[in-house]
Amino acid sequence: MLPLITNPDSVPDAELAYRWSTKKSKEWFENNGWMVGCNYIPSNAINQLEMWQSETFDPFLIDKELSWAAALGFNTIRVFLHHLLWKQNSRGFLERIDLFLSIADKHGIKTMFVLFDSVWDPHPKLGKQPEPKKNVHNSGWVQCPGYNVLNNPIEYDGLYEYIHGVVNHFKHDKRLLIWDLYNEPDNMNLTSYKDEGYAIHKAELSMQLLKKTIRWVRGIGPDQPLTMAPWQNDWSKESNLSMLDNYMFTHSDIISFHCYEDRKGTEKRIKALKRFNRPMMCTEYMARPFNSTFQEILPLFKKYNIGAYNWGFIQGKSQTHCPWDSWEKQYDQEPELWFHDIFRTNGESYDLSEVEFIKSFISSNKTKSQTSKAA
């Protein structure tokens, strides 16, 4: 366990001072085995707020849906939190997180929590959430923090209590796998909510908040490692890396990234990131129209020992079975070829052959891994 930093602001470059060593990161990764799972939100929730608010939090539905994940062989899930839930009722929020972790753990699933997120609606509000727009991909997902906070750096310190309260509470919890600090922090949402006045400054604003967040979390000293995931641009050369992407790669304990490309494009990104000499996870992949499929990509991730989290699980209120371009193109019916997601709301497989492949591939590779360790 890392020593507690009582005053991280007094440590030069505290974001790096307590970064896990390469050796420790590799040992952690090896001890957890091949991690494979999905990004998860219950089918009854349009966004993080509806998932976690007391009025709509549904542990029985979560239990049922995570049983389907376990039946596939998934051993991990990636789940988004939100600071407004802490502000609303911190004690109740922690209790619901604890219950969620217990449900997932019952099914042999460890959880990755995402603390901040820059994608979709920049104006989150507590209370009753909107109904989904017909056949529109993620029509109600919300950013964390929203525009009013991110665009005013003087507000950032007000997020400390949320970060400290959640991370400190679960810092020794073995049901929790890893902390993902910030999802796609420079995503401008140009095809959905447009610019919202950030102009070119969103990456700069997000980096300010990310630096504070790393210091806060390093100061707590959780048992779990930290990660954050770049999602765009060319990572093949140092000169091509944006300042924010380079910062995320060089400050993560475990490297993570997003990629919705086909096998060739995904392998190119994996090879480009090997130079950072850290274990890797792809925390978002699988978009069928781009040939980012389980059959194409899972064997690649296993070959390079990359943790794998596909986007989407249940065809629910998030409607991520619909394509990204549904924000600009009207779909009167659900697309014949689903974009994301594996199951219909009733648990029926979208593609039975796909589900059979997932089960078989994960099962056979778990067996190989166990046999190897036994030998």
CA 50 to chain centre: 17
Which strand ranges, in their side-by-side order, compose the sheet holding 36-39? 226-229, 176-183, 110-117, 76-80, 36-39, 307-310, 280-285, 255-258
Average pLDDT over residues 173-202: 85
Determine the CATH number of domain 8-374: 3.20.20.80
List pLDDT tens digits, range 168-177.
999 999 999 9
pLDDT on residue 64: 98
Asked if the model's pLDDT at residue 252 lies above 90, the reply is: yes
Write the CB contacts of 233 (distance below 8 Å, at least 6 apart in sequence).
Answer: 240, 241, 242, 245
Q: Which of the four pLDDT bands, split at 50, 70 and 90, describes residue 189?
A: confident
pLDDT on residue 372: 41
pTM of the model: 0.94
pLDDT on residue 199: 56
- 318 token code pair: 């998030």
List pLDDT tens digits, range 13-45.
667 889 999 999 999 999 999 999 999 999 999
Average pLDDT over residues 124-146: 97
Domain extents for the chain?
8-374
Average pLDDT, the chain: 92
Q: Which residue has the tokens 């990204």?
A: 324
Q: Which of the four pLDDT bands, split at 50, 70 and 90, describes residue 366?
A: confident
Asked if residue 320 lies in contact with residue 339, where contact means CB atoms within 8 angstroms, the answer is yes
List pLDDT tens digits, range 265-315.
999 999 999 999 999 999 999 999 999 999 999 999 999 999 999 999 999
pLDDT on residue 54: 98
Half-sphere exposure of 97 (CA within 13 A, CB side): 27
